[in-house]
Structure 1
Amino acid sequence: MIQTVFADPNQLLLFVLIGFAAQMVDGALGMAYGQISSTLLLSMGVPPRQASAGVHTAETFTTAVSAISHVAHRNVDWKLFGRIVVPGVIGGVLGAYVLTTVDAGIAKPFVLAYLTALGLYLFYRGVMHRHTERSPKVVAPLGLVGGFLDAAGGGGWGAIVTSNLLVQGSNPRKTIGTVNTAEFFLTVTISATFLLALGWEAFTTATVGLLIGGVFAAPFGAMIAKRVNPDVLLTFVGGLVTLTSLYGLYRALFT
């Protein structure tokens, strides 16, 4: 079934559209490309490690364009970038290794429940205009955990890192741009780890479609993040984290 779906070139346009939509959301809000893409692939019967490998292979290219766009629009806090990128890469390698050797899905419901609560809190702060900007204190451990869960779960870097930095008071536009830029280095490392473990089996029609759609959408996301009011960004981030986490929690517990 999986081979039939991915061998059909007529499916390419569908995955291009999904990749475009997912990257528009990710570039503007700093999350959800992995969650949207991985959820689709898993719903079509793709094993978790192939789904994560395929999504991260596509993200290697989409995050490169997204990073360039955010840098061009001055959405990056380079000090914050330096504090999250190395721990994120280390966590990503560990997560990819775990996913190719053992079942890492046991902790998924707990992580999703935590993200749901976090999303509701961010949504509340955005709606009530209560976001007070200050320098985040917990950064490196956040990068490590975010990178690990991103690789092991097929997505989640933005949901974990962006949302937690925003809770600590980080500027929404700079946070989104910085996390997206760091994600490029994370996805390159994760993809290389998967390729060493799995070979090229995950590079399918779906991967190509997600890649094409994501590359076209990447510049627009950075433009949106630069121009939208911080409280509005925070509200949308909170709503997106809540909805995607609730859906993932439902799938993890009841399907």
Structure 2
Amino acid sequence: MWLLAAFALAGGLAQLVDGTLGMGFGVTSATVLLALGVAPATASAATHVAKMPTTLVSGLSHWRAGNVDRKVLIRVAIPGAIGGFLGAVVLTSISLAAAKSSMAALLLFFGFVILVRFGFGLRIIPVPKSGSTLRWLGPIGLLGGFVDATGGGGWGPVVTPSLMTVTRHEPRKVVGTTNAAEFIVALSVSSGFITGAVHQDIPWLPVIGLIVGGVIAAPIAARLAGRLPHAPMGTLVGGMVILVNAVTIIDALGDLPGWLDAVLMVAWLALVGRLAWGAWGREKREADPVVDETRVAVD
């Protein structure tokens, strides 16, 4: 019972972040399952099984809140479903050892994407601003779906910043459209894993916990989209994803002394905390530039 409650809490927090930032649920859930020793393909399959009800509720909640662009949704979701199915087939056909290291490396990369995006206000995955917006939506969806399936998460880190680049929508509408499209992608990815019988090894207790927490948090997140401080939340999520997957990669390469592990972990958490604090300050200054200019003039 306590284990189920713990995963429900993790799923709720992950969906709260995902529903307000447009990224986080898949990467966070896959990272937690990998840390528990779940095989990469199974971790990705379990994550997408959990995503189906959570993204359905999240998408409907964002739709009701007016946060979804239907034209962009269709043009991103269909290629995303194709890319997701192909990614699931690829992940089920490679060795478990290679998959675990590759998946951890991919999640580590997306952890950096999230950290840099919110901690420093930069985009590692830029999309050219020239040319027709519609021309870029298909490739964005295809790439997002593929990396989402192979990494257990990645739809949000790819699609959200990309849509912010190629569209003129405000952040809440980009987040809502990304969340709504993710339901279609999750369905496609799950069908791809089912063809490989990966679903037989899914750890159902953690998955049920993630679903319960995610479904409860989804409507709340949709209403909070655009209201919570995005920068510090995104920074903390990125920092934790990097930490957990870096440990996985380091263990694969060779164990470090216990004291060095502890020192590096504490130093990293302190650095991420400092970045989150600075990101919060930057976000407040950008939200109220007049106050900031007045303060500078006084100084």
Same fold, TM-score > 0.5, yes or no: yes
What's 2:246 paired with? 250
Identity %: 39
What's 2:219 paired with? 219
Structure 2: how far apart are the matches of 1:95 and 1:197? Answer: 12
Matches within 5 A, 1:46-195: 46-102=38-94, 103-104=98-99, 105-106=101-102, 109=105, 112-113=108-109, 116=112, 119-121=115-117, 123-125=119-121, 136=133, 138-168=136-166, 170=168, 171-195=170-194
Whether the 8 Å contact between 1:89 and 1:185 is mirrored in structure 2 is yes
Which structure has more relative contact order (CA 8 Å, sep 6+)? It is 1
Cα deviation for residue 225 of structure 1 reads 0.6
TM-score normalised over the length of structure 1: 0.81
Opposite residue 164 of structure 1, the aligned amino acid is: S
Cα deviation for residue 118 of structure 1 reads 7.0
Secondary structure, counterpart of 2:196 in structure 1? helix
Opposite residue 175 of structure 1, the aligned amino acid is: V
Opposite residue 39 of structure 1, the aligned amino acid is: T
Opposite residue 193 of structure 1, the aligned amino acid is: G
Secondary structure, counterpart of 1:139 in structure 2? helix
How many residue pairs align between the two structures? 237
Secondary structure, counterpart of 1:101 in structure 2? coil
Task: Render the CA deviation track for 1:104-155: whole Å, top value 9, x for unaligned.
Answer: 55486478447625752554448xxxxxx99856321111111011111111
Structure 2: how far apart are the matches of 1:200 and 1:27? Answer: 29
Opposite residue 156 of structure 1, the aligned amino acid is: G
More off after superposition, 62-71 vs 162-171: 162-171
Task: Render the CA deviation track for 1:3-28: whole Å, top value 9, x for unaligned.
Answer: xxxxxx54211111111111111111
Whether the 8 Å contact between 1:19 and 1:210 is mirrored in structure 2 is yes
TM-score normalised over the length of structure 2: 0.70
Cα deviation for residue 164 of structure 1 reads 2.4
Once superposed, what is the RMSD of the aligned Cα atoms?
A: 2.8
2:221 paired with 1:210: no
More off after superposition, 166-175 vs 40-49: 166-175
